[in-house]
Amino acid sequence: MGGNYSAMDPMEVPVPDLEKLFERDGYLKPYEREIRRRYACYKDIWDRIESWDGGLEAFTKGYKYYGPQFNQDGSVTWREWAPGAHSLHLRGEFNGWDSKSHPFAKKEYGKWEIQIPANPDGSCALKHDSRVQIIVNDNLYRISPWASYVKPHEGFTYQHFIYKPEQPYKFKHPKVDKPRSLRIYECHVGIATSEGKVGSYNEFRENVLPRIKKQGYNAIQIMAIKEHAYYASFGYQVTSFFAASSRYGTPCELKQLIDRAHEIGLYVLLDVVHSHASKNTLDGLNEFDGTNACYFHDGPRGTHSLWDSRLFNYSEIEVLRFLLSNLRWYQEEYQFDGFRFDGVTSMLYHSRGIGEGFSGHYDEYYGLNVDTEALIYLMLANDIVHSIDNRVITIAEDVSGMPASCRPVREGGTGFDYRLGMAIPDMWIKLLKEEKDEDWKMGHIVHTLTNRRWMEGTIAYAESHDQALVGDKTIAFWLMDAAMYTHMSTLSEPSAVVERGLALHCMIRLITHALGGEGYLNFIGNEFGHPEWLDFPRAGNNSSYHYARRQWHLVDDELLKYKFLNEFDRDMNHLEEKYGWLRSDPGFVSCKHEADKVIAFERAGLVFVFNFHPYQSFTDYRIGVNVSGKYKAILCSDSKKYGGFGRVEPDGEFHSTQQIPWGNRNDSIQVKYFVNHSEGYWDTLWK
């Protein structure tokens, strides 16, 4: 039946575990025909690829066919896909930059090939770190889409350099197992230095990885790895997909970084951009063959109107080969453990999500606005990377809430493991920007933190790189603003602004961590309340690096209050490692009291209690619990350890249940002293 699924009546298409999907979400049943149709399209492409010579194994290793292939006899076979080109030539240091001496031969299906013989002494003509260039149609200068190393040459334009060192780096440590509780440290190598410059892979390995490990995170998500000519694009305008960015160092140095991360037990995620590509032509993928199409859609469908970038044509087999091979390249060549897919909402819909509100009605996800070709690519990508390594984790940056995105493909899902809980940081920033503390709605906070699809993993976060970018501010800066310049010293006079800021910074993080999902993410530096914003050097700021760095001295200085936030973040992560609330069932919320501004819930055998009231404290406050016994406080933002007043300390004092049902729970405890703008949670101690 291989290759014939799309010709069948969709209701006859076999989807192996579809009933599991309907058991989990009965609202999907009316859309069974469309779910089966999508699966049929996916299965058709899968079977077609498997039927070709080498099957999926060869198809997903396009980097071993295209680009320069170095043969044992010293010769080089170089292939490209350029269906719209009339001619291709290769020039470089190896031939004295002769533009005509080395033409490619045209093959079938838009492929081109050239054989470069070895030198008379048997050595390879293409030397390590030598520069090469492809000329299309005699006058268009291009970089190979499969280039593995590019760097600027004589200006800002990037050029292809052969990367074949005599002693390539060999990994010493195996990949780590998939974390049961995912605590992600989102990071960017270039900004990870405190100096006004671009940081390096080596500096990150030596200086930042130890901080991350000590802080209790078990995964890093590295941004802006694929080469991007424009640094200020934050890595989201990719120009060379197979080239790790040379502005931070060499490919071998990136491998050393990843190897070291594995050595200390950190799972490594790559921030992958397959939703669009830079419009650059001289050093990008755009118009590679001299046409407006090639890897992208022609016409308006091929350009993103807001991002001013090119959109891939996922219906083209060679585009699928390119993108799927790109994932495998980073899995195998660089030993990345998993992927965070950027811009998934833009991929999923013909509207690119522009102006879409996404009410949650299922018609929005199963109508004509869905870009089926992109959806099928995501199903293929997820299924393939998981089949290569079952330890892989994939995360979708999708704001639309597409059903079954985080369910296996064999159920009719898209195959991701997690989606980002993007509504959560939006809520916190909106509250801090637009509402007074006394106007915060506890029900709204709880709804936003718990509003996720059943049995589909969500990565919760209070803020990421999006909130730190210029034009916005970090949560710490929204909370304390100018006071961060004058009252963050432990020797300065007390400041109500800073006291409130420290407390809410801790509270926002803990309730997001504990209630918002099945994973947690923090952006580099925000764990200690990094001030101000993030802004890369560009024409608009006189090419300054002042805001494109991390001021580590702030948290390292014992006389500054940043250490309090850092300590709370560390203890929160280590407690999650001990008790495992992220890998537990969602929390049961027993209290969301609007007048008292109190939220209480249980998860993983713990009781979390938050008092968001700006000025009201409580004594003998009753909290419902489901398990009778004795409870003790083990974390509280009012502790002096975190810059609080010490009115409530995790000092081992027990709170016994009183056999009084409360808040739809079997029993309850009374919290002796419950201060405003602080919170504690209690670990169950069995009788």
List the one residue out of 510, 502, 453 whose CA is nearest residue 480: 502
Burial level of 59, CB count in 10 A (0-12/13-18/19+)?
buried
What is the phi/psi pair of residue 375, to 5°?
-60, -45
User: What would the two tokens of residue 248 be?
Assistant: 């931070």
**Other Cβ atoms closer than 10 A to 327:** 24
Token pair listed for 87: 């001619």
Of 506, 485, 528, 499, which Cα lies nearest the Cα of 615? 499
The 10 Å Cβ neighbour count of residue 302 is 19
**Kind and range of the H or E element at 624?**
strand 618-625
Per the residue annotation, which of 397, 411, 456, 679 is the catalytic one? 397
Strand partners, 338: 269
Q: Which of 274, 282, 677, 341 is nearest to 502 (CA)?
A: 677
- Distances in Å between the Cα of 439 and the Cα atoms of 86, 260, 462, 595, 613 are 66, 47, 19, 10, 10
Nearest to 332 by CA among 61, 10, 531: 61
Question: What does 255-318 look like in DSSP terms, one character per residue?
Answer: HHHHHHHHHTT-EEEEEE--S-B---SSSSSTTTTSSS-TTB-SGGGGEETTTTEE-B-TTSHH
Looking at 34, 227, 342, 499, which residue is catalytic?
Answer: 342
The answer to whether 217 and 252 are in contact (CB under 8 A) is no
∠ CA 280-281-287, rounded to 5°? 120
Element at 468 (helix H, strand E): helix 465-468
Pairing of the two strands 630-636 and 654-656: antiparallel
> What is the spatial distance between Cα 106 and Cα 161, in angstroms, rounded to a whole number?
24
Q: Which residue has the tokens 């710490």?
A: 476
Q: Is 397 a catalytic residue?
A: yes
From the CB of residue 553, how many other CB atoms can be counted at a distance below 10 Å?
A: 10
Q: What is the rounded distance in angstroms from the CA atom of residue 585 to the CA atom of residue 515?
A: 10
Nearest to 577 by CA among 673, 656, 652, 513: 513
Task: Return d(Cα 459, Cα 137) in angstroms, integer.
Answer: 47
Smallest Cα–Cα separation from 476: which of 501, 495, 496, 457?
Answer: 501
Alpha-carbon gap, residue 240 to 221, rounded angstroms:
20
Phi and psi, residue 465, nearest 5°: -65, -30
Q: Where are the alpha helices (DSSP H) in 521-652?
A: 552-556, 562-579
Q: Rounded to 5 degrees, what are φ and ψ at 581?
A: -70, -30
HSE at residue 670, side-chain half, CA atoms within 13 A, is 8
Residue found by looking up tokens 């046409």 in the block = 291
> Sign of dihedral through CA atoms 263, 265, 267, 268?
negative
CA distance 631 to 57: 55
E strand or H helix at 324: helix 317-332
The residues annotated as belonging to the active site are 342, 397
